[in-house]
Amino acid sequence: MIRSARQLIGGYARRLYLGLQSEVVEPWILTWAFSPTRLQKASEGWARLNSMTELLPTASTLGRIWFHAASVGELESLWPLILICAERGSELILTVLSESADRSLDHLVHELKSRQIKPLFAGYSPWEGKWGRSLDQLRPSLFITARYEAWPDLWVSLSDRDIPLSIVAARDRRSLRIAQRLCRWMGRAIPQLLLFPSTDQDKADLEVRFPGARIENVGDPRWDRVFDRGCRGSSRASELVQAVQGLPRPWGILGSVWLEDLKFLFPKILKQSGTVWVVPHRVDSKYTELIGDLLSKQGLRVVRTYSSSAAALSQTLREADSRTTVVLVNEIGFLSELYSAADWAWVGGGFGKGIHSALEPAIHGIPVAVGPRGIQNFPEVQELSGTGQLTVVSSDPMLERWVMTARDASFRLKWESEAKSRLGAALRIYRCLESGTHRTGRS
């Protein structure tokens, strides 16, 4: 009797949740949050997805895998695992949520096609509340997300169809807790879980939260992704480095910085000799003009890279000018590769919307600094701080001390070696999945 009552209440709760999604979230909130172009592209993609005839299960080791990433960061975490699964015969379904992630997805699909691999579907994910139909059409044997991406209806839909859920670089964040509670509120068990945290603390937290899940600390596959990009290089990055090679060393890169970061950093960061590269997080003309004005007011010569060939950039730098030169990289797509030429790096966002990933410069063994905002979102901050490679700077005196110590290159080989020791997480995840451990109990 009690069980029947719970099921009845859970059924009402789910209908209420789905009703809110279809009657409030979709027509009002989503149309406000996303551009018309993004909404139209998603609609066309879902129509194509839902018109597919029901697909039979595949015979590959892991079968058909649905990878989903909300943003660029999550897609970067999944990227190396996607390549391994594809090369070993798994059929791929690839979805994202944000527009920036969709652009990165295009690059991933291009890379897969260069390896003669074509995903079954690549595009925007269904809205929350619409997962079930797509799961029935595509029939994945495994669903994989990253970090703390969690949607209650997705979890319920996976649970109802007995499709395991794996989370790469998993952390016990509020989104996972909300999904877990809403599943129970809707009278459903959560899916079978295989969680891959990247630190021992995250593993311990998840074991308390999801006692029935299989949890393996295998490291963070973002290190694999960053290392692979560094090995591949970028022709544009190489061109710029070659063009400015005559500028004095050491070179420092202010990567993914916002105006708030620069207002804190200047003029203090220029007290030491050398050259500073400024790579803004936003490169639209209005924003980079604001940054250029800020730098010029510090008495600096600002050299912009956009639309400049190597020859033109070299010629500009050869022109006599007694002012200190700052290279303003007002273009995107190769920051990770630029870090390989740097002697130190500041990763932006810590005085704005929150820091960006510190892995990209850290893989090269150089000293790294960040501001304080958002450091809790990146487990590598604690790890790199423990080795002395990364410093969290929150005041002027701390910045001055870091600027003095950032010139010390004596630890670079040690830090490079430590970075390489973190590689291989994607392959370790694949082996866990391949061994059948994705068939776990329910939490």
Q: pLDDT per residue over 260-291, tens digit each?
A: 999 899 878 866 678 899 999 988 889 999 99
Q: pLDDT per residue over 85-121, tens digit each?
A: 999 999 999 999 999 899 999 999 999 999 999 999 9
Does 227 fall in a domain? no
pTM (predicted TM-score): 0.89
Number of helices (H), then strands (E), belonging to the chain: the values are 20, 14
Does 394 fall in a domain? yes
What pLDDT sits at residue 272?
Answer: 67
Whether residues 200 and 250 share a domain: the answer is: no
Radius of gyration of the chain (CA): 24
Say if CB 209 and CB 180 are below 8 A apart.
yes
Say if CB 349 and CB 373 are below 8 A apart.
yes
Does 239 fall in a domain? yes
Count of structural domains within the chain: 2
Does 23 fall in a domain? no
What pLDDT sits at residue 443?
Answer: 43
Cα–Cα nearest to 38, from 95, 94, 102, 93: 102
Whether residues 139 and 165 share a domain: the answer is: yes
Whether residues 390 and 352 share a domain: the answer is: yes
Residues ≥6 apart with Cβ < 8 Å to 162: 192
Domain extent, residue 166, equals 31-221+425-434
Average pLDDT of the chain, as a whole number: 89
Q: CATH number of the domain at 48, please.
A: 3.40.50.11720
Q: Is the pLDDT of residue 9 over 80?
A: no
Say if CB 77 and CB 49 are below 8 A apart.
no
Q: Is the pLDDT of residue 441 over 50?
A: no
Does 247 fall in a domain? yes
What pLDDT sits at residue 440?
Answer: 42
Whether residues 292 and 247 share a domain: the answer is: yes
- pLDDT confidence tier of residue 359, bands split at 50, 70 and 90: very high
Whether residues 130 and 215 share a domain: the answer is: yes
Does 442 fall in a domain? no
Q: Is the pLDDT of residue 58 over 80?
A: no
Whether residues 293 and 382 share a domain: the answer is: yes
Whether residues 283 and 200 share a domain: the answer is: no
Does 12 fall in a domain? no
Grouping H, G, I as helix, E, B as strand and the rest as coil, residue 19 is helix
- pLDDT confidence tier of residue 10, bands split at 50, 70 and 90: confident
Q: Which sign does the torsion angle of CA 413, 280, 369, 398 carry?
A: positive
> What percentage of the chain reaches a pLDDT higher than 70?
94
Range in 59-73, 78-92, 188-202 the model is least confident about: 59-73
Does 1 fall in a domain? no
**Residue 148: C-alpha distances to residues 41, 73, 89, 195 (Å):** 26, 11, 27, 11
Q: CATH number of the domain at 340, please.
A: 3.40.50.2000
Whether residues 313 and 429 share a domain: the answer is: no
Q: Which sign does the torsion angle of CA 197, 333, 406, 242 carry?
A: positive
Say if CB 354 and CB 378 are below 8 A apart.
no
Q: pLDDT per residue over 202-233, tens digit each?
A: 999 999 999 999 999 999 999 999 999 888 88
Whether residues 176 and 255 share a domain: the answer is: no
Say if CB 239 and CB 252 are below 8 A apart.
no
Whether residues 193 and 276 share a domain: the answer is: no
Q: pLDDT per residue over 313-345, tens digit each?
A: 888 887 767 778 889 998 888 888 899 999 999
Residue 307 burial (10 A CB sphere; 0-12, 13-18, 19+): exposed
Whether residues 174 and 244 share a domain: the answer is: no
Whether residues 316 and 417 share a domain: the answer is: yes
The mean pLDDT of 413-431, rounded to a whole number, is 95
Rounded distance, CA 357 to CA 246, Å? 29
